[in-house]
Amino acid sequence: MQAIVETLFDAVYLISVITIGVLMIRGSKGERQFRLFGWMAVVLGAGNSFHLIPRALALCTTGLENYTVPLGLGKWITSVTMTIFYVLLYYVWRQRYQIKGQSGLTAAMYGLAGIRIALCMMPQNQWLSTEAPLSWGIYRNLPFALLSLLVIVLFYRSAKERQDRAFRWMWLTIVLSFGFYIPVVLWADTIPMIGMLMIPKTCAYVWTVLIGYFAMKKECR
């Protein structure tokens, strides 16, 4: 039952976010913020597919224990693409609110993203092993948490100051996605049921994508 439900859920998720992303790229009508948002959605879906597709195959065939290498490689790729996702979201913020300058802020974003990706590349992560150390899961997620926090603050402040109703909950979607993700990083290996938090985390990302899509439909008539 888990295999069927989880596989269907992941398939709907991947098809939805990639399709919405393509629709936004094609329907942005020259609005750079929505074209960026579309690419962001495609990166989200394509990156997650490297982990979710092997997981679905494992659940529907011989089990997760026989797919250690594909699952580890998928998590590795997803870790990098999720970092790119937040950098693109930062540029959506800049485009939507017409932010000029602030090179220090941009440098901070690239610095945190660079540190995150560099940590993901370290062999100590043991991505392809069943004994991946928790400590390195924490190390690589510290700059990721700071990156997310920065984006949360930027969207919260700008949407409030500009009374931007379309994007007023963008900050909350990121809070929820990261809030559900942290317990998985810390305790999923010892308490497998905590892995179920990836479902509401995924729903939060779908909400993020839908915010951009509905804003585009309203503003690009």
Tens digit of each residue's pLDDT (9 = 90 or more) over 112-137: 999 999 999 999 999 998 888 889 98
Per-residue confidence at 11, pLDDT binned at 50, 70, 90?
A: very high
Contact 148, 172 (CB under 8 A): no
pLDDT, residue 29, reads 85
pLDDT tens for 194-210 read 878 888 999 999 999 99
Per-residue confidence at 74, pLDDT binned at 50, 70, 90?
A: very high
Nearest to 132 by CA among 178, 69, 181, 78: 69
pTM for the model stands at 0.93
Structure tokens at 171: 């900050």
